[in-house]
Structure 1
Amino acid sequence: MQLLKRAFARESAAGYLEKDQQMERVLTTKDLIGLGVGTVIGSGIFILPGHEASNNAGPAVSIAFLVAAIFSGICGMAFAEFSSAMPVAGSAYSYGSVIYGEVIGWILGWSLILEYFLAVSAIATGFSAYFNNLLSQMGWALPKALQAGPGAGGVVNLMAVVIILISAAVLFAGVSQSKKIENAGVVLKVAIIALFIIGGLFFIKGHNYADFYPKQFQTGAFGLGGLTAATASIIFSFLGFDTIAAHAAEVKNPTKTMSRGILGTVAISAILYTLFSIVLTGIVNYKSLGVDDPAAFALQAVKQTQFSVVITIGALIGMFTAVLALIFASSRLAYSFGRDGLLPRGLGKVAGPHRLPVNALILAVAVEAFLAGLVPLSTLANLINIGTLTAFMFISFGVLILRKRHDLKHDGFKMPFYPVLPLIAAGLSLLLILRLPAETLKMYGVWVVIGLIWYFTYGIRHSALKQINK
């Protein structure tokens, strides 16, 4: 009983703020939107519209993206409220530790580790698919052994590993330098996506929309099985806004900046995703889009090879900015664990002229490069979704508890339509979790058990909270 009481002890937001003073507050609203859009508009827009149209929703995939965007926007408001009230590193992990207790915070952080680390690897895998497509258009090709990992018929996915290492080199140059590269990449990427949307309008064939929501996908309650399955998978695309919360300790004027960065990211991404999906499924029949580079494939199908090269370059830039932003976020999460003693304290040290969590960054890059080189994209996506949705559920419901905490100064952004909207967001998150494949739920269950074993054998004994409560 005493052990459980200790596990549910709550962290202090003031303590987190004090510890995070070692981080530089240099990020603005523009930088946060750059990081958010850089993450959201990555492999999601260049890969998932094709996969989900082919496997779950047909041309109605655009509806699935719009629903996912609305849902993510609602959850984004919950993250915006928390990050305004507690501008600390660690995102849902830190919020959960303050609101629910350390063990719940740890489970959320453990889920976020799954989300961030696998997301980097999945996007790097998508980068490799587009890069290999570009090489083939130029008449070159890497050896097949270097185009994919063992699970996909190769030895190692070389380009997936290389793009992670290049991103790491940029991040080691410091936050001020990396944000400039991120922002420039995002501007270029959005311009190329806009070019695809506008140019693609001239190649749309109306008959491709005739079977807008195919009968084979009309399963489950009210025939919405395919749409809800697609929406649950697409949530992966919108994980960028919650990574923004991971940077709260490095943001100027977080009370206003965090909410603007999060909600601005969701709005921009919703528009781009929905329009992109409509155009893509209008150019080529949805049945042909189950490939890792559907946008380039669609343009090649209508003999626009040169245009497809431009789109491929845009996809590569987009995935690079997503990898960059997610390594940034995952290293800050690892730093937060080290800061609090739940992982080795060396991860919580900030060093060098740029005041970076160097050890946490090295760990994140090593794990992500290993996964990207050896694990196929299909294995990663649903596990990313369940980590994201778990965090969404707890943080949305946590708004109800946050409002009652009089010890937290909270004069920043507040979620509207309280308490109805937080409850709707939490309920929808649970519904989407239950829509994920049973195998994904089992694998996630194993991951949570491993995390709890680590917490009760290492974390609880080394936690900084234990030292305070002595």
Structure 2
Amino acid sequence: MSRTTPVIPGDRRTPPGGARLLSRQGIFRLKPVDPSEEETHGGLRRTMGLWQLVALSLGGLVGAGVFSLAGVVAHEDAGPGVMISFLIAIIASTAAALCYAEFAGTIPKAGSAYTYSYAALGEVVGWLIGWDLLLEYTAIVAVVAIAVSGYFSYILERIGIDLPAWMLGAPGTGPGHKVDLFAALLCLLLAFVLSRGTKESARFETILVVVKLGIVALVVVAGAFHISAGNYSPFLPFGIGGAFTGAATAFFAVYGYDAMSAAAEESAEAKKVLPKAIVISLAIAAVVYLLVCVVLLGMQDYREIDTQSPFSSALGAVGLGGLGIVVAVGAIIGITTSAFANMLAVSRVWYSMSRDGLLPRYFAKNHPKRHVPTRVIWPVGIGSAFIAGVLPIREAADLTNIGILAAFSVVAVAVVVLRRTRPDLPRSFRTPLVPLVPAVGVAFSVWLIANLDPITWFRFAGWMAVGLVLYFAFGMRNSEENKPSSPSEDNLPEPRDGSSA
């Protein structure tokens, strides 16, 4: 804050004479921290309890990783040491999860990493993270929908139903393929479910998650009776380095709690239950993944695992091939819950950015009866359906990963910054061992980002460049923080660095 140009406490207007662009009155102005859990008029409704939030988080955490990723990492990188790979990934993910838990208990508002970084690091940082998540979450929905489509086609083939080639995949993925119709329709179906209301869609997600975990339990128990200790030797055929390499891949299976935190404004008693939901869901996911690794590698030698269908391959190797359909059904349900969680997340991030004025406020108006942002949900559904329908899964997947890791890094840094600038804020959960735990989260995320394909960097940089142009052309001028504050806001306590809260 300038010493020569006083600003009324709480006033977010640029001081007379203009503030420097790179200041707390410019692009680094802060979103006021609102720790209240009251519902705003026309806003989102707080209807989800602890176990619905846990189910939403598990929807993102336990998905493709169970039915495919564990086998891929074992076969290509770690062998039976995949157990160590997932353990390392879970430890790294826990560091980020604890940072999310602190923010969830401090700022129980929609938007996840976008809202957290905006409140702690400044508007332009929040915008970039939000803009990044819009693409990442939408692309994840598309990738997951394509994977579901593949399993669905497998089931139809097994029961003798032949479908026209034009509807079975994106152009270039097979002879005669024109569009992945199943994937596109799944995206639209999820948008429809989300548009029905938070309570109804949360019930839908909870039921699917319970069924999914039941199927995983059935497969694990059945396979446990066919474990051969000899399959665990050699335990580290690629050395400990292979286990660490596998951890980089496994990490992408254990970060689904960030999608759940985007729904903070629809959680009853958010400050109390959100941190609990994050910790409980990650603990359940950790147990599930480790059990899956133990059983999968005990049933079949890692060199013989089919990376296209690891569990089906392993079950077939021990004479349980009849469970293949069960595995396929479990995969469809499990992966669908992941798509649902990510579609909910992107719609809430978009809604929050529009409510803050960084995107057109048209999208911040909820349905008058269902109290969900249908003006956002349907564009997200249509956009993800288009990506899923016409892009091969690898090209769609290349749009993800780097943005999620960037968000993790920023949230970890933001926890440390907010501890210093706003020590007065009530925190229902505090990340332990700060700054060590956030530093672990940042280090692991940066390491993974550094090992991504260079084309991913170029695409990410291009998307961020477009975002910056939009921010300076629209968001910066129309931001809610660029407007005069109300008299009541003048009494808000100021952070220790003297910037506007």
Q: State the TM-score, normalizing by the size of structure 1.
A: 0.92
For the residue of structure 2 that corresponds to 1:152, the secondary structure is coil
Deviations 1:98-123 (A, max 9, x none): 11101101111122223311111111
User: Cα gap change, 1:85/1:192 in structure 2, threshold over 3 Å: closer, same or farther?
Assistant: same
Q: Are residues 1:149 and 2:170 paired?
A: yes
Bigger shift: residues 375-384 or 302-311: 375-384
Structure 2 residue 32 is matched with structure 1 residue 12: yes
Contact 2:357–2:478, Cα closer than 8 Å, also in 1: yes
Q: Aligned letter for 1:178? A: S
Determine if contact 2:387/2:396 at 8 Å carries over to the other structure: no
Q: 1:440 to 1:238 in 2, by over 3 A?
A: same
Partner-residue secondary structure (3-state), 1:319:
helix
Could you tell me how far apart the structure 2 residues matched to 1:20 and 1:234 are? 40
Q: How is 1:269-348 mapped onto 2 (pairs within 5 angstroms)? A: 269-289=285-305, 291-348=307-364
Equivalent in 251, 273, 277 of residue 261 of structure 1: 277
* Range with greater deviation from structure 2 (439-448 or 167-176): 439-448
Tell me if structure 2 keeps the 8 A contact 1:55–1:290. no
Asked if the contact 2:187–2:382 (Cα under 8 Å) also holds between the matched residues in 1, the reply is no
Instruction: Give me the whole-angstrom Cα distance separating, in 2, the residues matched to 1:234 and 1:407.
Output: 35
Contact persistence 1:42–1:123 (CA under 8 A): no
Quick one: distance in 1 between partners of 2:426 and 2:54? 23
In structure 2, the residue matched to 1:355 is 371
CA distance in 1, matches of 2:135, 2:168: 24
The residue that corresponds to 2:183 in the other structure is 160
Residue 34 of structure 1: how far off its partner (Å): 0.6
1:212 to 220, 226, 235: 235
Partner residue, 1:465: 481
Is the counterpart of residue 452 in structure 1 residue 468 in structure 2?
A: yes
1:38 pairs with 2:59:
yes
Q: Which runs of 5+ in 1 are unaligned?
A: none
Amino acid at match of 1:196: V
Q: Give the unaligned 5+ runs of structure 2.
A: 1-18, 487-501
Q: What is the DSSP-based 3-state SS (H/G/I as helix, E as strand, rest coil) of the residue aligned with 1:3?
A: coil
Indicate the residue corresponding to 1:169 in structure 2: 192
Residue 53 of structure 1 contacts residue 61 of structure 1 at CA under 8 Å; is this kept in 2? yes
Task: Say yes or no: does 1:108 pair with 2:129.
Answer: yes
Comparing 389-398 with 40-49, greater Cα deviation is found at 40-49
Shift of the alpha carbon at 1:289? 4.0
Residue 414 of structure 1 deviates from its aligned partner by 0.3
Matched, 1:59 2:80: yes
- Alignment CA distance shift 1:149-1:36 (3 Å): same
Which protein is bigger by CA-based radius of gyration? 2
Q: Distance in 2 between matches of 1:291 and 1:342?
A: 43
Comparing 186-195 with 205-214, which one deviates more in the overlay? 205-214
Matched, 1:426 2:442: yes
Contact 1:83/1:258 (CA < 8 Å) preserved in 2?
Answer: yes
The answer on 1:201 being equivalent to 2:201 is no
Name which of 184, 194, 214 aligns with 1:191: 214
SS of aligned partner of 1:113: helix
SS in 2 for 1:423: helix
Please state if 1:375 is matched with 2:395: no
What is the identity, as a one-letter code, of the residue corresponding to 1:210?
S
Q: Which residue of 2 aligns with 1:87?
A: 108
Q: Distance in 2 between matches of 1:149 and 1:102?
A: 38
- In structure 2, the CA distance between the partners of 1:327 and 1:438, relative to structure 1 (3 Å rule), is same
Give, in whole Å, the separation in 2 of the partners of 1:242 and 1:93. Answer: 11
Higher helix share: 1
Q: Does 1:249 align with 2:265?
A: yes
Q: Which digits, 9 at most, give the CA deviation of each residue in 1:111-147, with x for residues without a partner?
A: 2223311111111111111111111211223333322
Q: CA deviation at 1:288?
A: 4.6
* Structure 1 contact 130–293 (Cα < 8 Å) conserved: no
Q: Against the structure 1 CA distance between its residues 55 and 451, is the aligned structure 2 distance closer, same or farther, given a 3 Å change threshold?
A: farther
How far apart in 2 are the matches of 1:278 and 1:423?
30
SS in 2 for 1:403: helix
Q: Deviations over 1:372-420 (max 9, x none)?
A: 1122333344542211111111111211111123386323100111222
Pairwise CA distance, 1:296: 2.6
> Aligned partner of 1:55: which letter?
E
Contact 2:149-2:180 within 8 A present in 1 as well? yes
| Poorly superposed stretches of 4+, deviation over 6 Å | 15-19
Question: Could you tell me how far 1:301 is from its partner in structure 2?
Answer: 4.3
- Counterpart of 1:373, as a letter, is G
1:210 shift after superposition: 2.7
SS across alignment from 2:22: helix
Distance 1:343 1:289, change over 3 A: farther
Which secondary structure does the structure 2 equivalent of 1:404 belong to?
Answer: helix
- Give the match for residue 7 of structure 2: none
Q: Residues of 1 paired with 2:303 and 2:387: CA distance?
A: 30
Which amino acid counterpart does residue 147 of structure 1 have in structure 2? L
Distance, in Å, in 2 between the alignment partners of 1:122 and 1:52 is 19
| CA 328–292 in structure 1, closer or farther in 2 if over 3 Å, else same | farther
For residues 278 and 442 of structure 1, the distance between their equivalents in structure 2, rounded to whole angstroms, comes to 38
- C-alpha separation between the residues in 2 aligned to 1:209 and 1:152? 36
Displacement of 1:446 in angstroms is 2.1
Deviation, structure 1 residue 84 = 0.7
Q: 2:422 maps to what in 1?
A: 406
Aligned length: 463
Distance 2:40 2:73 in 1: 40
Distance in 2 separating the partners of 1:15 and 1:268:
28
Q: Which residue of 1 aligns with 2:14?
A: none
CA contact (8 A) 1:382 1:436 kept: no
Distance in 1 separating the partners of 2:387 and 2:79: 30
Q: Which residue of 2 aligns with 1:178?
A: 201
Determine which of 153, 156, 170 is the counterpart of 1:135.
Answer: 156
Question: How big is the alpha-carbon RMSD for the aligned residues of Structure 1 and Structure 2?
Answer: 2.3
- Name the counterpart of 2:3: none
Distance of 1:311 and 1:385 partners within structure 2:
26
